[in-house]
Structure 1
């Protein structure tokens, strides 16, 4: 900036924001890019799998199902007055009957309704139960295979209720945009700002899992692609979708430069052709690809060391790995046979079983607990053995 102001350079570019203060000391072209301020937060961890039983349906659907189970039994009770027996005329029987329909449980032949009203009611409930059961089972399988991610922070309101601390660099005047705002939410954000030393300090706190850091959205996207992406293209960081305070970015030239008008024409043509956005996408793609290749190279070097191996944490999605599936199919029956026929010595017995490129370490123990005998098996898998 100083060289341009003194006329030592004809043109300069360094992510210059077009501001009134700068336009008083240098010329600037029309903006070739518009950047925004964004918060970067930790990416939320997957929800615990024990809660997967509730994921297939939304809260509204679960509420409708519950209300149905409360309303239909009295209706069955009323229509059951036309039945020859007295079984349907008891509320507890009607409740169990409706719940059995929704659980797809078969009913004995003597409970088949004979009156037209009750038959229509039962058939309608049976159709609804079948649709719900099919939708629930298929969705449950999907959620068990791929864990559901918790909702990330995307708005200022969500940030206020997230329990995270938030902050900004200790220089640059970033916080003034919020403190000078008339919006109540923005003023609450300004009151909670914590100051950090530089971008590295802010990102370090974000990676600790309890902090949100504000900076240029474009720069944050580049940092994630170039430094915080793993070998699978995943990252532990999330940039909020709600961004604010747009910045116009242009080229800088000495005051009253003869090149300003010419560069304005060039910038206009480049922007209209969409080249700036495409260049930035290519830059992100190249940075991410380079980061992933470097990580894969480091992992390959580590795995080439025979004494450096790591244990895998297995989930349901590992059955998609065909070699590992075949290894499990071979190893598990053998292990069950050993546990049923062979008694382990005191302290337990450790056996290595190699199959399909994997080593299975099985440790089984025998003993007594509160006077009762027990036999347990612990398994670990080491790839590439």
Structure 2
């Protein structure tokens, strides 16, 4: 305030600009008299944070792929530069361009330290999304919500192994039912022919049914006819049609049998939370869905293109997510406006998909280099014909042929039981 004479009183209004073309400074906004006549053409309540004029803003975060990542590069003059990238890193760059500031990434060792730097106002932004929960708002503020943080689980699937069910896989379930129904009809028809037209060859209807069942099953399994071969024209036509049917079915079955004997059974995978509780104990990993997607593509893709882990289909829980900032941050409205512009333009999903594509291309490059290395070492043929346990893919192992051994063991048990029963009955009757 300045006095001029005895009756005029003058006021001068100053404001502190933390960011200006000349750095932090105090600027005179207005000078006016008691009658409120303003002599300075300035805004009394200016927005100091529309333009940071290249000022430095402290930010802090740990690496969280694919949202926030940083690498240090050396320039031609020997100076080191921190390059920030990732979907949330690109959002930070959008803030820098819009508000004209430069961010300085403060180091931190834990996420607790990251949050504490924000709470203490040492860093003004943590440029990676955090889940929005009421407890967070006690110590700091949050930007506008721009992401939905899905928690999901990932785990290793049970290793795939050949299974005895490979004996039945070459034909669909309805095909097997059709074969059983055809056997039943053919047995009844042949038994009727034996009992009506060739009755002198069978002692009873039950004997005709037994002989017919034996003939049908024997020919189905590529055995020769029994002594009781139909002699009537009706019986021969029936058996001719049956043999044609058996020839086609057995040819189709054999064509796919080896492939399905070697084909591993589907791995045991828990896809829902309920299945997770029933199947696993402590072998699952719970994390943010997008983060796990990137890690699986980048870190857990084998040279042959398969992945060692999988992500469950259902999500465990989800939260709205946004960036933590200190309480009462004066330029928060500007940050929220920029975030909403980026989200509405669809750039967050684009940046995320770009990072996934970079990781996928990196994985493909590693696979190509792996195959080229095998070719240089003349190992490609062995690699292409080898399974995970090092056995040739063209060879049927004991694991592949578990089904036939089970059938043989079952037949031995049944045959032995019947033999003992017959011997026992003869001893009792004798």
TM-score with structure 2 setting the length: 0.48
Quick check: 1:250 aligned with 2:368? no
Q: State the partner residue of 2:53.
A: none
Quick check: 1:95 aligned with 2:213? yes
Structure-to-structure mapping, 1:40-119, within 5 angstroms: 40-48=154-162, 51-57=165-171, 69=183, 73-74=187-188, 76-78=190-192, 80-84=194-198, 86=201, 90-100=208-218, 102-103=220-221, 111=230, 114-115=233-234
SS at match of 1:140: helix
Q: State the partner residue of 1:356.
A: none
Cα deviation, residue 92, structure 1: 2.8
Cα distance in 2 for residues equivalent to 1:257 and 1:113:
101
Cα distance in 2 for residues equivalent to 1:120 and 1:268:
78
Q: Pick from 284, 287, 291: which aligns with 1:219? A: 291
Cα distance in 1 for residues equivalent to 2:248 and 2:124:
71
Q: State the partner residue of 1:165.
A: 281
Q: State the partner residue of 1:24.
A: 138
Residues 74 and 260 (structure 1), Cα distance of their counterparts in 2 relative to 1, 3 Å cut: farther
Return 5+ residue gaps in structure 2 as ranges: 1-114, 396-430
Cα distance in 1 for residues equivalent to 2:330 and 2:123:
13
SS at match of 1:154: coil
Q: Pick from 242, 251, 257: which aligns with 1:140? A: 257
SS at match of 2:353: helix
Q: State the partner residue of 2:359.
A: 287
Contact persistence 1:34–1:248 (CA under 8 A): yes
Cα deviation, residue 94, structure 1: 1.6
Quick check: 1:152 aligned with 2:269? yes
Residues 161 and 71 (structure 1), Cα distance of their counterparts in 2 relative to 1, 3 Å cut: farther
SS at match of 1:73: helix
Cα distance in 2 for residues equivalent to 1:127 and 1:256:
86
The alignment of Structure 1 onto Structure 2 pairs a total of residues equal to 270
Contact persistence 2:154–2:310 (CA under 8 A): yes
Residues 94 and 153 (structure 1), Cα distance of their counterparts in 2 relative to 1, 3 Å cut: same
Cα distance in 1 for residues equivalent to 2:336 and 2:289:
25
Contact persistence 1:146–1:317 (CA under 8 A): no
Q: Pick from 361, 375, 392: which aligns with 1:315? A: 392
SS at match of 1:52: helix
Cα deviation, residue 229, structure 1: 1.9
Q: State the partner residue of 2:306.
A: 234
Cα distance in 1 for residues equivalent to 2:240 and 2:123:
85
Cα distance in 2 for residues equivalent to 1:148 and 1:95:
33
TM-score with structure 1 setting the length: 0.53
Cα distance in 2 for residues equivalent to 1:113 and 1:259:
101
Cα distance in 2 for residues equivalent to 1:113 and 1:265:
93
Q: State the partner residue of 1:199.
A: none
Cα deviation, residue 240, structure 1: 1.9
Q: State the partner residue of 1:15.
A: 129
Bigger radius of gyration, 1 or 2?
Answer: 2
Contact persistence 1:27–1:260 (CA under 8 A): no
Residues 119 and 290 (structure 1), Cα distance of their counterparts in 2 relative to 1, 3 Å cut: same
State the structure with bigger RCO (CA 8 A, min sep 6), 1 or 2: 1
Cα deviation, residue 16, structure 1: 0.9
Contact persistence 1:233–1:288 (CA under 8 A): no
Residues 25 and 83 (structure 1), Cα distance of their counterparts in 2 relative to 1, 3 Å cut: farther
Contact persistence 1:83–1:114 (CA under 8 A): no
Q: State the partner residue of 1:194.
A: none
The root-mean-square deviation of aligned C-alpha atoms, in Å, is 4.6
Q: State the partner residue of 2:55.
A: none
SS at match of 2:298: helix
Return 5+ residue gaps in structure 1 as ranges: 167-210, 319-385
Residues 249 and 107 (structure 1), Cα distance of their counterparts in 2 relative to 1, 3 Å cut: farther
Contact persistence 2:158–2:269 (CA under 8 A): yes
Cα distance in 1 for residues equivalent to 2:243 and 2:314:
45
